[in-house]
Structure formats: C-alpha cells, structure tokens
Amino acid sequence: MSNAISKALMTITDGQLSSAHKLPSPNCNTRPDGVTIDTIVIHNISLPPDDFGATDSHGLHYVKALFTNQLDWDAHPYFQTIRGAEVSAHLLIERDGTITQFVNFNERAWHAGKSSYLGRPNCNDYSIGIELEGSDFTAFTNQQYDALATVISALYKAYTKTRRHLTGHSDIAPNRKTDPGEHFDWARLRGVVAQLAQTT
C-alpha cells in the first residue's frame, strides 16, 4: 500500500464518490422500494476484449462510450456482438487507477444481468457494480488494486451492510459470466482493504 493511497481518503456523499470523474449514464433507474444496498460485485471489461485504453475517433474510451450509449457499433467487429446493449456500472477503474462514476450508488446500475446471490435474484437491485478495465487473461495493475481497495473502504463506511458481501460477476451468474477471472487476486484485495481499515 502506498502512502498516496493511504492518504487519499475517499468519501461518499449522497451516493457520489469524491475524487471520481463523473460521466452520467442513462442506463440506470430507481432501486426497488425498501431495498438495502448490501453487496459489491466486481467485474472486468475491455473493448475490444483484451485491448486496454482504446478510444473512438473522438478520443472517448470505448467502455465509457458503451456505458453512455455512445458506442459506434460498426467501429469494431466485436461490437456487433453487443450491438444495442444498454448497460452500465457504478464505477470503472482503468489500468492506471483512474476512477469514473457513471451511476449514483443510490440508483440501480445495469451491470449484473440475470443473476442470483445467496438465493436472491436480480443482483442489480441491491448491489454496487464495479468494473475493472481488464480481461480474464491478464493480471490487474497495482494501481487498480489500490484504487479498488480505497473505493471499497469508502463503500464499507457509507453502506455498512456491504461489508459482508463482496463477490464477483462469475459468482452471481456462474453459467453466463467468467469475470473478474482467475487472475483477480481476492486475497490481495482483502489484504489491502484490511490495511486501510487499520490506518484510516
């Protein structure tokens, strides 16, 4: 854990993460009445797959374009396979640790799809979705682990019920999804989160 991370305290106010870039997505809606936000779901994504940091002709990161319904489906053959998708996540953490927030945590982002966690369907209703730019076949960066751990520490404070429910997309949609993948180091993440809890 770097000093930069330990000192870079993030706070959450009214569902917004301080120090995150804000890029609002239309792909969200209200959570069901009475729902408690109690789960954090980790994903990976890259567009095209395994290509990190790729942008469109306007310089817009392809993942950010997807989450804001600005992706040019004809720009790459792979994009044809997801043409028309209306999806989002609350956060994207890029390879350099840059964090972008697309959806207020108090709103429902569209990241999990058909899913179930501990017998409860529709994980989008009660979870916060975090995308790491990456793939199932590549290690994630130090900056991503540090940024993710710092975010999770802030979420644990703002949404205390999430402390017991940190999971991956492949765990809540096991027959459909493989992310965040075998390269994602859960023990490392939990270790950095625990360190932060002691120092903040």
| Interacting residues toward Zn ion by CB under 5 A | 43, 169, 179
In sign, the C-alpha dihedral spanning 97, 73, 82, 109 is positive
Measured distance CA(36)–CA(34) in Å, rounded: 7
Pair 86, 66: CB distance under 8 Å: no
Backbone dihedral angles phi then psi of residue 158, each to the nearest 5 degrees = -80, -35
| Residue closer to Zn ion (CB basis): 14 or 182 | 182
- The catalytically annotated residue of 86, 94, 107, 131 is 131
Task: Tell me how far, at minimum, the Cβ of 13 lies from Zn ion, in Å.
Answer: 27
| Residue closer to Zn ion (CB basis): 87 or 99 | 87
| Residue closer to Zn ion (CB basis): 11 or 121 | 121
Residue type, 122: N
Q: Cα angle at 141 between 22 and 48, to 5 degrees?
A: 65
Q: Could you tell me the two tokens for 17?
A: 């993460």
Task: Tell me how far, at minimum, the Cβ of 146 lies from Zn ion, in Å.
Answer: 21
Task: Tell me how far, at minimum, the Cβ of 67 lies from Zn ion, in Å.
Answer: 12
Task: Tell me how far, at minimum, the Cβ of 169 lies from Zn ion, in Å.
Answer: 3
| Residue closer to Zn ion (CB basis): 56 or 136 | 136
Task: Tell me how far, at minimum, the Cβ of 21 lies from Zn ion, in Å.
Answer: 21
| Residue closer to Zn ion (CB basis): 31 or 169 | 169
Pair 107, 124: CB distance under 8 Å: no
From residue 3, alpha-carbon distances to 9, 37, 50 in Å are 11, 30, 30
Measured distance CA(186)–CA(166) in Å, rounded: 10
Measured distance CA(110)–CA(123) in Å, rounded: 9
133 part of the active site:
no
- Residues with catalytic roles: 131
